[in-house]
Amino acid sequence: MTSKVLVPYDGSEMSDKALDKAIEFSKALKSEMIILHILDERLIPSNAARFISEKAAFEDAKMAALNILKVGAEAMLKYKMEKVNANGIHVKFITG
């Protein structure tokens, strides 16, 4: 039976500790690990649109900001994946 350990990760100290525990679980269970990071669109306040006259321009700016966050998250997660792989655990990450 194939098992998987899902680990939510936000870059905080607490999520680092959770990742360390998940590594222990994955090693004990001989399971794959999935690291999940959610990009929260609420980081860009909807009332910011009042400073941009065109709705399309606001949506473009919002998407550009979210893309920057996604690139940063992927870099952070790749670094964490190296730590997991170093422990002999197959790992992948998902951002959403």
Q: Is 37 helix (H, G, I), strand (E, B) or coil?
A: strand
State the Cα–Cα distance between residues 95 and 40, nearest whole angstrom. Answer: 10
Look up the CATH number of the domain holding residue 11: 3.40.50.620
| Spatial distance between the Cα atoms of 61 and 58, rounded to a whole number of angstroms | 5
Distance CA 10, CA 33 (A): 16
Helices marked H in the chain? 13-29, 55-86
pLDDT digits (tens, 9 = 90+) for 17-59: 999 999 999 999 999 999 999 887 777 777 776 777 777 787 8
The domain in which residue 72 lies consists of: 4-95
The structural domain count of the chain equals 1
pTM: 0.75
Residue owning tokens 């870099």: 75
